[in-house]
């Protein structure tokens, strides 16, 4: 079996074992909460009875997975070189509020309007990530601490902006404040046509976010950059062995800056599906916490785009069950317990499986060499 | 037939048929050793012969797959080093395991602290340490900080630490590797004292002269198995060496000089402060600034280092580790800021980045291949790209050229005899010698003008060592300028065209490798001989 396939299989087996174990642990939590585990797990797979309900369930799951996937990618860029960008949370919020406001100030054809909004989001996110990067390379400030602090600033700054300078008109009886609504040319088309193709009813609300396609392209693009380009090689080298990278002429300062800015720019996109595809503004009820969840998603996906996609779908799948769980009389916080245990167990499983894979590689090399050049050992 | 029935005393350690299968390195196979109590028993073998694995087994760090271990006649099965310690076995590691910011006393008791009402019983510990130190002739000051101690003192602390835990059998893993000849004599006096006290010493080494002068019995290990047990009185160093290697010995001799008069690398006045680089104030010249640093009594890691290396010349730098060699390398590679000028082929490269220096033809075989030379968890071809990521064949525009990188790695594997299943194998699966050959092959590709070779044959087997020496000699003949830094004095003397000694960050002597002995070199390296002689 080729080493790559073996490693992939081992990873899958490890992940499945971790998920099974997580189900067992969550069952204990569910029983402790006084509910029945069967009812809870049935709720996860209960997408409803009508076709429309099933479609709605799937769309909820995918729509949740899209920003989580982007957040996972953003975190993974830093993680690949042992750079812990905990600031994705702040970066995406500040980027979202700025992009939503800028987008609302002008109206242009969609092919200009939407790219401009996206570019603004990426620029703001990238710039906000540049701050901790500069602090790190010039003064040695630990990026974990800097980004956590900058999160507080960003979250509160975004809240201020949406109430203050960037605020839009508030309709009567509405409690949330938002930025001005985007012109229709900034509305990202949905993908409901996919369901219609199969003769299924269209989901309600904003439908399946068209930004899904952008996310998929982003994932592929990032894979190409990380796995095939010189920049990706330098990221990998810095992550595997920073001192060897330094001795090989990879400038750690340049790498910290560029990886951080790339991470922040991707983080800037996290809010885009919701703003362009659904709410068409940034409001005080904008989905929070995506950046922090992105850390878990990246860990779960082993910092690889394909793995992150699976992890994001898993999180989307679990999050969708919020409603059905309540109907089944199970506290929905079970979901968070499950997510937490899965992440922890998968991290452990990853560590174990990668050790097994490395050891196997060593053994294989030793064996093959043993065949080619018999070691002269006196019996 | 059985030695036990004849001998009045049980052997201190008896290893029977020890076998350890271990991927990537030479495994132990059917090892048989009997160590008599109250002797110094040497285990000799080339780097990579399996000595360290054997000692790890004896110290409980690894479990043998087959075979039995008897200590004082009792069969034991160690699961952890603490089992071995309880059985009276202590190990002095090749790399010291001491906490620098602790005193000698604290280091000795660390992990086995005597307590009095829940607090450290410093007085009791001090009394015991003084008793041990006096009894065994190991003089140390228990209240000094370990960071202020020299290498020899640190080693004595390590030995005391082991004795403090009640060890009666001491394993010393290459204890002389870090010592200069004078310190080696002192260590041997200590060992003789320990022996006189009835302790048993297992002494691992590959330096035959030392082994012959100290050991009461010698066991030779080759390719993972014991090939002979000999009496030091009856063998010569030459015979021992041939037992160890199993064939003719390679020598690092360089033949006729290939030194040209074209300067490849020139450094002048390199100076580095110990407490961080500070730019020279405006209006002051570098020499004046350095003069001021010296006047202020600042510690300098590099102090006015100047030399030239010509095309086809190998300049060897001898020195006890930690006297500025690493700093010198990092300064030349542009990894650490430094005062002074560096020029390559007449071009001033002092302000260039590491990348630009590499691109302009500096190759670098790092002193620690795992730390600076390899991505262990990446494939061989990716390791080929490392350091060459901006040059063909590794690069094609913004892309890494995977196909030609692979092809060029195949070439290195073939030309440099890297034993590997394929170029997609992870670097960590290779033995040390093969990893090093890959690095040498990589650094020699792209036609470098100047090569830094730091300990190029450290921890590699004898075959790889000879091959690496050959590659260095061939490259030198082809006009490469080489800066050779090594702890192996024979290697330095044998390969170098010019020899310099670094001591305390200064180049203190310039010697002719043709008429210098390791002893004299050792004198300069420790600062025992101070007069500079020019050749």
| pLDDT per residue as tens digits for the range B29-52 | 888 899 998 899 999 876 666 777
**Residue B483 pLDDT:** 94
pLDDT over 50 at A377, yes or no? no
Residues A125, A253 within the same domain: yes
Which numeric CATH code is attached to B3-245? 3.40.50.300
Do A279 and A357 fall within a single domain? no
Burial of A222 per CB tally in 10 Å (0-12, 13-18, 19+): buried
Residue B282 structure tokens: 């405006």
- Report pLDDT for B322: 74
* A254 near B CB under 8 A: no
Please check whether residue A234 touches B, CB under 8 A: yes
**Is pLDDT larger for residue B191 or for residue A72?**
A72
Question: Count of alpha carbons within 13 Å of B427, Cβ hemisphere only?
Answer: 27
* Residue B15, helix vs strand vs coil: strand
* Most B CBs within 10 Å, among A230, A254, A303, A367, to test the B interface: A230
Residue A220 touches chain B, beta carbons under 8 Å: no
Q: Say which CATH topology domain B258-361+449-535 has.
A: Rossmann fold (3.40.50)
Quote the CA–CA distance of A69 and B262 in Å, as a whole number: 59
Q: Is the dihedral of CA B274, B277, B278, B279 positive or negative?
A: positive
Cβ of B375 and A244 within 8 Å? yes
Do the domains B3-245 and B258-361+449-535 sit in the same CATH topology, yes or no? yes
Within the 374-393 window of chain B, which residues sit less than 8 Å (CB to CB) from chain A? Answer: 374-378, 382, 385-387, 389-390
Does the beta-carbon distance from A365 to B429 stay under 8 Å? yes
Yes or no, beta carbons of A229 and B24 under 8 Å apart: no
Query: Is the residue at A163 inside a domain?
Result: yes
Q: Do A246 and B382 touch (CB under 8 A)?
A: no
Best mutation site among B429, B451, B453, B462 for testing chain A: the one with the most A CBs within 10 Å? B429
**Chain B partners of A362 at a C-beta cutoff of 8 Å?**
23-24, 428-429
Q: How far apart are CA B354 and CA B337, in angstroms?
A: 11
Judge whether A46 lies within some domain. no
> Which of left, alpha, beta for B217 (phi over 0: left; psi -120 to 50: alpha)?
beta
- Domain hosting residue A350, numbered range: 1-35+331-371
Residue A377 inside a domain? The answer is: no
Instruction: Find the mean pLDDT for residues A36-43.
Output: 85
Where is average pLDDT lowest: A16-30, A364-378, B46-60, B308-322? Answer: A364-378
- Cα separation, B166 vs B145, in Å, equals 23
Q: What is the pLDDT of residue B187?
A: 86
Residues of A in contact with B49 (CB under 8 A): none
| pLDDT for A156 beyond 90 | yes
**Tens-digit pLDDT profile for residues A80-103:** 988 999 999 999 999 999 999 999
Q: Distances in Å between the alpha carbon of B128 and those of B105, B123, B139, B163, B200?
A: 10, 9, 13, 10, 21
d(CA B496, CA A141) in angstroms, rounded, equals: 45
Distance separating alpha carbons of residues A100 and A96, to the nearest angstrom: 6
In a domain, A54, yes or no: no
* A300 and A342 co-located in one domain: no
**What φ, ψ does residue A317 adopt, rounded to 5°?**
-60, -45
pLDDT at A155 over 90: yes
Please tell me if residue A361 touches chain B, with a CB cutoff of 8 Å: yes
Mean pLDDT of chain A: 87
One domain, residues A284 and A339? no
Quote the number of domains for chain A: 2
| Same domain (yes/no): A5, A122 | no
Continuous segment of H or E residues that includes residue A144 = helix A143-163
CB–CB of A248 and B389 under 8 A?
yes
Q: Which of A247, A251, A365 is nearest residue B333 as measured by Cβ atoms?
A: A247
Q: Tell me whether the omega of the peptide bond preceding residue A278 falls within 30 degrees of 0, making it cis.
A: no
CB A259 within 8 A of CB A83: yes
A243 touching chain B per CB within 8 A: yes
Partners of residue A237 in chain B, C-beta under 8 Å: 375, 378, 386, 389
Question: Are residue A103 and residue A207 in the same domain, yes or no?
Answer: yes
DSSP state of B379: B
Residues A108 and A16 in one domain: no
Select the residue from A249, A355, A358, A359 to test the B interface by mutation, using most B Cβ atoms within 10 A. Answer: A249
Q: Which residues of chain B have pLDDT under 50?
A: 1-7, 24-25, 533-535
Provide the residue ranges of all domains of chain B, joining segments of one domain with +.
Answer: 3-245, 258-361+449-535, 368-446
Q: Taking CB atoms and an 8 Å limit, are B372 and A376 in contact across chains?
A: no
Which neighbouring-strand residues pair with B270?
Answer: B305
Interchain CB distance below 8 Å, A229 and B400:
yes
Q: Can you give the pLDDT at residue B247? A: 55
A15 in any annotated domain: yes
Cβ contact (<8 Å) for B354 and A229?
no
Nearest to B397 by CA among A228, A250, A246, A77: A228
Contact (Cβ atoms closer than 8 angstroms) between residue A36 and residue A30: yes
Q: Is residue A48 part of a domain?
A: no
Q: Do A251 and B430 touch (CB under 8 A)?
A: no
Indicate if A243 and A227 belong to the same structural domain: yes
Whether A102 and A216 share a structural domain: yes
Q: Looking at the predicted structure, is the pLDDT value of residue A374 above 60?
A: no
Q: What is the ipTM of this complex?
A: 0.83
Query: Which of A286, A306, A324 corresponds to the end of one domain?
Result: A324
Q: What is the dihedral of CA A52, A56, A57, A62, to 10 degrees?
A: 140
CA distances A42 to A48, A329, A340, B234, Å, are 11, 12, 20, 82
What CATH number is attached to the domain comprising A208?
Answer: 1.10.3470
| Cβ contacts of B405 within 8 Å, gap of 6 or more | B381, B382, B384, B385, B393, B394
The minimal CB distance from A378 to the residues B225, B335, B372 is found for B225
Candidate from B366, B402, B421 with C-beta closest to A364: B421
Q: Are residues A261 and A167 in the same domain?
A: yes
């Amino acid at each position: 079996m080729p080493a790559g396939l073996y490693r992939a299989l081992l990873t899958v087996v490890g992940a499945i074992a971790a998920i099974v174990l997580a189900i067992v642990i969550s069952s204990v939590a569910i029983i402790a909460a006084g509910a029945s585990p069967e009812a809870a797990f049935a709720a996860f797979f209960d997408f409803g009875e009508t076709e429309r309900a099933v479609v709605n369930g799937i769309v909820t799951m995918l729509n949740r997975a899209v920003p989580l996937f982007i957040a996972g990618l953003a975190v993974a860029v830093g993680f690949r070189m042992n750079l812990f960008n905990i600031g994705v949370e702040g970066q995406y919020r500040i980027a979202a509020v700025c992009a939503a406001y800028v987008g609302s100030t002008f109206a242009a054809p969609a092919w200009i309007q939407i790219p401009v909004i996206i570019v603004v989001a990426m620029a703001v996110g990238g710039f906000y990530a540049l701050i901790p990067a500069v602090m790190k390379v010039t003064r040695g400030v630990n990026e974990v601490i800097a980004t956590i602090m900058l999160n507080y600033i960003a979250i509160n700054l975004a809240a201020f902006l949406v109430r203050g300078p960037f605020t839009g008109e508030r309709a009567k009886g509405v409690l949330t404040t938002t930025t001005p609504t985007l012109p229709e040319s900034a509305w990202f088309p949905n993908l409901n046509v996919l369901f219609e193709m199969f003769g299924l009813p269209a989901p309600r609300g904003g439908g399946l976010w068209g930004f899904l396609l952008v996310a998929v392209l982003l994932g592929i693009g990032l894979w190409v950059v990380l796995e095939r380009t010189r920049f990706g090689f330098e990221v990998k080298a810095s992550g595997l062995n920073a001192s060897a990278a330094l001795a090989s002429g990879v400038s750690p300062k340049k790498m910290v800056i560029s990886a951080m800015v790339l991470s922040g720019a991707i983080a800037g996109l996290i809010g885009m599906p919701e703003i362009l595809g659904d709410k068409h503004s940034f409001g005080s009820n904008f989905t929070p916490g995506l950046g922090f969840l992105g850390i878990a998603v990246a860990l779960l996906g082993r910092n690889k785009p394909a793995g992150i996609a699976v992890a994001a779908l898993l999180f989307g799948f679990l999050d969708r069950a919020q409603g059905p769980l309540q109907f089944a009389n199970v506290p929905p916080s079970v979901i968070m317990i499950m997510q937490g245990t899965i992440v922890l167990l998968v991290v452990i499983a990853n560590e174990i499986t990668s050790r097994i894979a490395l050891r196997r590689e060593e053994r294989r090399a030793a064996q093959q060499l043993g065949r080619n050049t018999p070691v002269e050992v006196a019996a | 037939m059985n030695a036990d029935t004849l001998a009045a005393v049980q052997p201190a350690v008896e290893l029977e048929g020890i076998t350890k299968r271990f991927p990537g390195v030479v495994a132990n196979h059917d090892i048989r050793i009997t160590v008599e109590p109250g002797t110094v028993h040497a285990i000799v073998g080339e780097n990579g012969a399996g000595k360290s694995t054997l000692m790890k087994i004896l110290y409980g760090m690894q479990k043998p797959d087959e075979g039995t271990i008897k200590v004082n006649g009792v069969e034991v099965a160690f699961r952890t080093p603490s089992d071995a310690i309880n059985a009276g076995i202590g190990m002095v590691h090749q790399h010291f395991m001491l906490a620098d910011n602790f005193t000698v006393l604290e280091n000795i008791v660390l992990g086995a602290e005597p307590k009095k009402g829940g607090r450290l019983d410093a007085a009791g510990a001090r009394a015991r340490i003084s008793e041990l130190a006096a009894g065994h002739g190991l003089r140390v000051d228990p209240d000094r900080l370990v960071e202020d101690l020299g290498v020899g003192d640190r080693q004595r602390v390590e030995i005391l630490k082991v004795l403090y835990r009640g060890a009666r059998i001491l394993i010393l893993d290459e204890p002389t590797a870090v010592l200069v000849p004078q310190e080696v004599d002192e260590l041997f006096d200590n060992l003789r004292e320990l022996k006189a006290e009835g302790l048993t010493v297992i002494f691992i080494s590959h330096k035959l002269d030392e082994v012959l002068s100290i050991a009461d019995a010698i066991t030779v290990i080759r390719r993972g198995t014991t090939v002979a047990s000999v009496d030091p009185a009856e063998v010569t160093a030459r015979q021992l060496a041939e037992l160890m290697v199993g064939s003719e010995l390679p020598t690092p001799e360089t033949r006729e000089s290939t030194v040209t008069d074209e300067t490849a690398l020139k450094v002048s006045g390199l100076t580095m402060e110990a407490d961080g680089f500070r730019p020279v104030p405006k209006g002051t010249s570098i020499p004046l600034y350095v003069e001021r640093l010296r006047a202020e009594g600042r510690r300098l890691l590099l102090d006015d280092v100047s030399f030239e290396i010509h095309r086809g010349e190998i300049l060897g730098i001898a020195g006890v580790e930690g006297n500025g060699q690493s700093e010198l390398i990092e300064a030349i590679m542009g990894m650490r800021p430094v005062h002074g000028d560096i020029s390559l082929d007449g071009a001033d490269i002092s302000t260039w980045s590491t990348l630009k220096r590499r691109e302009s033809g500096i190759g670098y075989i790092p002193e620690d291949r795992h730390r600076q030379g390899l991505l262990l968890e990446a494939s061989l071809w990716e390791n080929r790209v490392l350091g060459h990521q901006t040059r063909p064949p590794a690069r094609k525009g913004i892309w890494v050229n995977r196909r030609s990188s692979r092809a060029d790695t195949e070439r290195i594997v073939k030309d440099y005899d890297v034993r590997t299943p394929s170029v997609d194998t992870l670097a960590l699966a290779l033995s040390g010698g093969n990893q090093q050959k890959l690095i040498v092959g990589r650094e020699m590709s792209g036609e470098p003008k100047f090569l830094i070779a730091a300990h190029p044959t450290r921890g590699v087997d004898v075959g790889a060592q000879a091959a690496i020496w050959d590659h260095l000699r061939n490259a030198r003949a082809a006009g490469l300028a080489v800066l050779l830094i090594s702890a192996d004095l024979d290697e330095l003397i044998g390969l170098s065209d010019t020899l310099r000694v670094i001591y305390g960050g200064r180049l203190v002597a310039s010697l002719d490798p043709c008429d210098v002995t390791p002893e004299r070199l050792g004198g300069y390296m420790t600062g025992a001989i101070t007069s500079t002689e020019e050749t």
